[in-house]
Structure formats: C-alpha cells, structure tokens
C-alpha cells in the first residue's frame, strides 16, 4: 500500500484507503468504493425527542442492511444499559454491514464497547475525544498533552480488541491544524485504520473543508481510510461531505433523512445520489447502496422516530418529484428529464407527479382529465380550463372531484352519485377477531354489512367492500400524522384497483380506523365514477395544444 505522499497514475493521492478495510468490505478496489457509514442509530437518535427502544433500533438496522450500507453505528454502549442492549442485539442479529459502537478514550469505555460488539460477524470500535480549544478548556478541562495521552491509550486499547478501529478528533474544524495533525498521527501510530474528521458544530465551508481533508492526507502518513462527519448547522452538511469525497475521503458518515443533533447530519440519500448523478465529478467513486430502498428506509425512520420528512426534502421528500408550474409540467409530460435529474424509480419514488394549482398549464390539466378517463376537447376543454384557473385562484388544492364537476357541467354529463358513510362500529383487542359493522347509503338507499379482519382497519375496509360490492383489490395503504400530540389527526391514503383501473382515496380523522374507512370509501367512489365514465364516449373536437 502506498503512503500518503505517493501518487497513483490518475494523480490522486492513494493513501487514506486501507487495503484490509477494502478486503473486509468485499467491494473490490477500495480506491473506487465510497464507504457508507450510517449513524442514524447513534448520532441520529441524539436529535431532541427521539428515543428508540431496542426492537425499533433492530428494525431500522435490518432495513439499513437491505439498503446496503457498509457500516451501522449502532449506538454508544457505555451511555446506558438500553444502548448497550441495542448494540448487542444488532451485533448478534444483523449480517452484512460491519457493526460499530462509539466509545470515549477511557479504557473502561472501550472495553464496554467491545463487550457489546464481540458477537458481531464484523465489528469496529469508534474512539473519539475533543480537540478544539473550546472543548478542551470548557468541557474536558484537559490540556493538549492530556488529550494526546488519551488518544494513545484509547486507540491502543481498541486495537487490542479489534483490527478495525476508527478515531475521531471531535470538533476538528475548530482545532488548530498543527495540533490536529499531531493527534491524527498519534492515532495512526496506535493502530487506527479510519481517521474521521468531524465538523461537529457545522462550522465548515466546502472549499475549506476539502482543503482540510487534502492537508491531512498529505501530512499524515499511514494505511488508513479518511472519513467525513458533517453537521448541518449552516445547511452545508451534504456539500461539505461531497467536498471531502472530492478531496479524497473514502468514507462518509451520514444519517437517513439528515436527522441528528441540532440541525442534523449529512443526509445519506443526498450524498449517495450526488455521487451517483454527478459521475463526471466522481468518475472512480461508487457506493454499494441499493438506491431503490431509499424512500422505504426514509419512511421507516420517519415513522419510528416521529420526525416528519419535510415536503421539499431532496430525494425522499413528498414534493421531490412533484410539479405545479405550467412550464415544468409541460416539460415532464414531454420527457421527465427536462426537470428531473433523478429517475424517481431508482430511489423508490413516483416520478413526474403533476399537482394541479393556480400555476398549472393546459397540458397538465388535459393530462389529469385523461388519467381520470375524461376525454374532452375543443370548446369544452377551453371553457373548462378557464373555469379551472378561476377556481385555482381561490382554492389551494384542486381535487379530482373538482375537475369532474367542472367538466361534467360543461359537457352536460351527470356526475355519478357516490356512497356516503352513515355509521361505523368496530371492536377488537387481544381476545377474539376484530369486527366491524358499517352502514353506507347511496341515492337514498342504505345498506349494512359486517366483517371480520386481521385488525380493526382491515375489518372496516372489508365491511365497506361487502356493502359496495366493487370487487376492488387493495393496491396501497399509507398513514401519517397531520398534527402533533396524542390527539393528532391521522391522514390515510388507500389505493384500489379493479379491471385495469387504479384509484386512490384519502380520509382524515382523529381515529385512524375511521380515517381508513373514509379513505377506502373515497377510493370506492372514485372507482365507481371511473367505471361509469369508461362506458361513455365524451369525445368532440381535438384538443387545443396551445400554451
């Protein structure tokens, strides 16, 4: 293995990548592999209000393994018995990723960390200590000389237990360069195989952080991988991580959805997709991430932590592939690549989502109608579009029911009357099968139905199906919280399909069973209307395709 002063044939410094680490990861040439070190279960859980129990941590760890991360930092074993138990359970159960535990430099901490990890297929001890003047003086109450002794002792002890040892000088970006280099050299001399550079308080600026990584690679000889750990206090965590990779870092420490202390950590999904999409900037860098699992992983972490994903969150946000502006909608309807640099399917999302609103244009309006099975043209579409724009100025969200009513009036089509939920009774618990009884009405006629199910939601939906007899098949179900608190509104979206027609319905209630029943019935009504429309031909003249 070459030293940090050697160059390879493409002009990049090759040290900072451990041969043994590369072999352990099983990813081929380690100089081309970007190690994804996920710290959702450690640094991510440190976000205010998040407290995962061991079973929840294990569920997330299983999904991280499916996602294909290289390392899972499972926790800080010495911090509590619960954290120790979580790390131990993950170490014993998860196969594939290397399982890592965090430890201070105290020998007893290192030993405790190893005890939690020792049953893992592959394990790493991550040793850290603060090195900035602010941390040493006000938090550690230690001199630089004392910190150096701690680095020596802690890393050496970890190396007695495992060959895979990571060292982090906490608050590195506010540490003097001379002292930082001294500390890192000492860590390597005692056996550290990964040097992680934490921007603990989000102080770094991309070009400066990249220069820091370059300087370390140049002046710290040895056989190690250099890593980044960036916080988002200035909104630059992803940018700093990418700058680090550009400068030669071959491990990034990241969290799902960018959760973590204060403003959070670099988001795994953002870093991975930046490297994937901008291959021109990272021609020799690859990750082992199964990107199609990104959206599913994001939803799981959001559900278990209680931290919602912001609508405009890159890659995994609800609006990441949604378009309302008319020019954008026209573009993606012609070819998604006009306004989407990521193929949504590659990250487990639905792409080219057209959202109708006051900024929408004629192309999106016509496309939405055709997806509903309404084929209106000529003067009808012109007048309906004018009505739509007038309504959009007064209403934030335009629903399918709104569109249907507008067009129906213009072409003289009767809108099919839907079912109404008159009453819902459910029972369930640990004894006996859950049951539901519903009464629905349509055109003044009521019908009652009862059913059992795997749960009260399943029973309620089965009862509605028995009452409406649509023959629909459940194609999707999702539930989220609209508001906070124990009295939060549950927002349920249900998708049904029948005879090649796929529809969705939405229901909102403080009772998630009621919300689910309302969502199911809303989907049933859309399905009934869609089937009714399919039996009629409402075509007149060819549509005007003007701007």
Whichever domain contains 485, its CATH number is 3.30.160.270
> Does residue 146 share a domain with residue 115?
yes
Mean pLDDT of 137-154: 96
From CA 50, how far away is CA 53, in angstroms rounded?
10
Mean pLDDT of 221-236: 97
> Does residue 287 share a domain with residue 394?
no
Q: Does residue 313 lie within any of the structural domains?
A: no
Q: What local confidence, expressed as pLDDT, does residue 388 receive?
A: 72
Least confident of 284-288, 321-325, 362-366, 414-418: 321-325
What strands, in cross-sheet order, belong to the sheet with 445-452? Answer: 420-427, 435-442, 445-452
**Contact 87/74 with Cβ under 8 angstroms?**
yes
As a whole-number percent, the residues of the chain with pLDDT over 70 amount to 76
Mean pLDDT of 454-465: 94
The CA distances from residue 15 to 197, 214, 222, 250, in Å, are 16, 11, 7, 10
Rounded (5°) CA angle 295-299-301: 115
Mean pLDDT of 86-91: 97
Give Cα 529 distance to the centre of its chain.
Answer: 35
Mean pLDDT of 291-305: 90
> Does residue 81 share a domain with residue 186?
yes
Mean pLDDT of 471-477: 87
Q: Does residue 14 lie within any of the structural domains?
A: no
Mean pLDDT of 149-176: 98
Q: Please, where are the H alpha helices in 428-482?
A: 456-468
> Does residue 447 share a domain with residue 342?
no
* Backbone region of residue 453 per phi and psi (left: phi > 0; alpha: psi in -120 to 50; beta: other values): beta
Q: Does residue 547 lie within any of the structural domains?
A: no
Q: Is the pLDDT of residue 184 over 70?
A: yes
Q: What local confidence, expressed as pLDDT, does residue 281 receive?
A: 92
Mean pLDDT of 209-233: 97
Q: What is the pTM of this model?
A: 0.67
Within 13 Å of residue 383, how many CA atoms lie on the same side as its CB?
11
**Contact 164/123 with Cβ under 8 angstroms?**
yes
From CA 216, how far away is CA 16, in angstroms rounded?
9
The CA distances from residue 471 to 200, 215, 499, in Å, are 56, 67, 9
> Does residue 105 share a domain with residue 52?
yes
What is the per-residue pLDDT across 109-125, written as a single tens digit (0 to 9) for each? 999 999 999 999 999 99
Q: Does residue 266 lie within any of the structural domains?
A: yes
Q: Is the pLDDT of residue 209 over 90?
A: yes
Q: Which tokens belong to 108?
A: 């007893």
Report how many domains make up the chain: 3
From CA 243, how far away is CA 241, in angstroms rounded?
5
Q: What local confidence, expressed as pLDDT, does residue 432 receive?
A: 85
> Does residue 164 share a domain with residue 92?
yes
Q: What local confidence, expressed as pLDDT, does residue 510 receive?
A: 77
Confidence grade of residue 284 (pLDDT, cut at 50, 70, 90): confident
DSSP H helix total and E strand total for the chain: 17, 16
Domain end: 411, 441, 474, which one?
A: 411
The CA distances from residue 306 to 48, 66, 303, 313, 446, in Å, are 11, 22, 5, 16, 40
Q: Does residue 5 lie within any of the structural domains?
A: no
Give the residue, 488 or 473, on which the prediction is more confident.
Answer: 473
Q: What local confidence, expressed as pLDDT, does residue 380 receive?
A: 65
CA-wise closest residue to 128 among 107, 151, 94: 151
Confidence grade of residue 86 (pLDDT, cut at 50, 70, 90): very high
Q: Is the pLDDT of residue 8 over 60?
A: no
Looking at the DSSP bridge assignments, the partners of residue 172 are none
Q: What local confidence, expressed as pLDDT, does residue 397 receive?
A: 60
> Does residue 204 share a domain with residue 105?
yes
**Contact 75/102 with Cβ under 8 angstroms?**
yes
User: What's the CATH code of the domain at 200?
Assistant: 3.20.20.70
> Does residue 514 share a domain with residue 384?
no
**Contact 517/464 with Cβ under 8 angstroms?**
yes
Q: What local confidence, expressed as pLDDT, does residue 443 receive?
A: 86
Domain end: 357, 392, 411, which one?
A: 411
Mean pLDDT of 260-278: 94
List CB contacts of 335: < 8 A, sequence separation 6 or more: none
Q: Which tokens belong to 374?
A: 């309404």
Q: Is the pLDDT of residue 168 over 60?
A: yes
Q: Does residue 137 lie within any of the structural domains?
A: yes
Q: What local confidence, expressed as pLDDT, does residue 113 receive?
A: 98
User: What's the CATH code of the domain at 342?
Assistant: 1.10.238
List CB contacts of 165: < 8 A, sequence separation 6 or more: 124, 125, 126, 127, 155, 158, 159, 191, 192, 193, 194
Q: Is the pLDDT of residue 324 over 50?
A: no
Q: What local confidence, expressed as pLDDT, does residue 395 receive?
A: 55
Mean pLDDT of 319-331: 56
> Does residue 435 share a domain with residue 405?
no
From CA 458, how far away is CA 264, in angstroms rounded?
37
From CA 334, how far away is CA 490, in angstroms rounded?
36
Q: Does residue 1 lie within any of the structural domains?
A: no
What is the per-residue pLDDT across 516-541, written as a single tens digit (0 to 9) for each? 998 899 889 888 877 776 554 333 22
Give the residue, 292 or 388, on which the prediction is more confident.
Answer: 292
Q: What local confidence, expressed as pLDDT, does residue 538 receive?
A: 37
As a whole-number percent, the residues of the chain with pLDDT over 90 amount to 53
- Mean pLDDT for all residues in the chain: 82
Q: What local confidence, expressed as pLDDT, does residue 544 receive?
A: 30
Q: Which tokens belong to 10?
A: 């493409």
Mean pLDDT of 436-441: 95
> Does residue 73 share a domain with residue 211?
yes
Provide the 10 A C-beta neighbour count for residue 421.
19
> Does residue 330 share a domain with residue 294?
no
Lookup result for tokens 């990779």: 245
Q: Which tokens belong to 320?
A: 């990441």
Q: Is the pLDDT of residue 374 over 80?
A: no
What is the per-residue pLDDT across 36-79, written as a single tens digit (0 to 9) for each? 999 999 999 998 888 888 999 999 999 999 999 999 999 999 99
Q: Does residue 130 lie within any of the structural domains?
A: yes
> Does residue 146 share a domain with residue 177?
yes
Note down the domain range covering 464. Answer: 420-534
Domain end: 276, 305, 334, which one?
A: 305
């Amino acid at each position: 293995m070459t030293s940090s002063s050697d160059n390879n044939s493409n002009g990049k410094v090759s040290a900072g990548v451990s041969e043994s680490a590369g072999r352990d990861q099983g990813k081929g040439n380690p100089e081309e592999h970007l190690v994804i070190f996920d710290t959702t279960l450690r640094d991510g859980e440190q976000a205010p209000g998040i407290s995962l129990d061991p079973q929840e941590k294990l569920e997330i760890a299983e999904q991280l393994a499916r996602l294909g991360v290289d390392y899972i930092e499972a926790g800080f074993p010495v911090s509590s018995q619960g954290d120790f138990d979580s790390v131990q359970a993950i170490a014993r159960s998860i196969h594939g990723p290397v399982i890592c535990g965090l430890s201070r430099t105290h020998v007893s901490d290192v030993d405790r960390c190893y005890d939690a990890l020792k049953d893992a297929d592959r394990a790493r001890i991550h040793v850290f200590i603060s090195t900035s003047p602010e941390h040493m003086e006000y938090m550690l109450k230690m001199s630089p000389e004392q910190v150096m002794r701690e680095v020596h002792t802690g890393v050496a002890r970890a190396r007695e237990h495992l060959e895979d040892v990571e060292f982090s000088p906490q608050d590195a970006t506010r540490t003097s360069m001379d002292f930082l280099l001294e500390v890192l050299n000492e860590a390597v001399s005692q056996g550290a195989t990964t040097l992680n550079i934490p921007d603990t308080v989000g102080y770094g600026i991309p070009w400066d952080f990249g220069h820091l990584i370059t300087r370390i690679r140049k002046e710290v000889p040895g056989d190690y991988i250099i890593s980044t750990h960036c916080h988002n206090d200035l909104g630059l965590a992803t940018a700093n991580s990418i700058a680090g990779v550009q400068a030669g870092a071959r491990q990034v420490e990241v969290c799902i959805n960018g959760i973590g202390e204060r403003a959070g950590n670099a988001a795994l999904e953002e870093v991975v997709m930046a490297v994937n999409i901008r291959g021109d900037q990272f021609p020799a860098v690859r990750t082992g991430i199964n990107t199609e699992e990104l959206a599913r992983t994001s939803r799981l972490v959001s559900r278990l932590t209680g931290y919602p994903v912001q609508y405009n969150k890159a890659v995994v946000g609800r609006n990441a592939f949604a378009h309302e502006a008319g020019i954008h909608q026209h573009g993606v309807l012609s070819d998604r690549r006009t306004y989407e640099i990521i193929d949504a399917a590659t990250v487990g999302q639905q792409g080219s989502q057209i959202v109708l609103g006051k900024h929408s244009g004629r192309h999106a309006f016509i496309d939405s109608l055709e997806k509903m099975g309404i084929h209106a043209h000529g003067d009808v579409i012109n007048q309906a579009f004018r009505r739509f724009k007038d309504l959009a100025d007064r209403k934030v969200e335009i629903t399918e029911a709104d569109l249907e009513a507008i067009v129906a009036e213009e072409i003289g089509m009767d809108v099919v009357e839907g079912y109404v939920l008159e009453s819902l009774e459910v029972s369930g618990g640990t004894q006996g099968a859950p049951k539901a009884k519903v009464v629905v009405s349509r055109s003044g006629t009521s019908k009652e139905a009862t059913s059992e199910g795997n749960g009260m939601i399943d029973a309620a939906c089965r009862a509605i199906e028995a009452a409406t007899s649509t023959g629909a098949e459940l194609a999707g179900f999702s539930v989220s919280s609209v508001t906070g608190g124990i009295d939060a509104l549950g927002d349920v979206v249900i998708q049904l399909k029948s005879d090649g027609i796929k529809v969705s319905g939405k229901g909102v209630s403080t009772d998630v069973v009621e919300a689910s029943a309302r969502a199911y019935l809303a989907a049933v009504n859309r399905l009934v209307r869609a089937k009714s429309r399919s039996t009629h031909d409402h075509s007149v003249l060819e549509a005007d395709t003007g701007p």
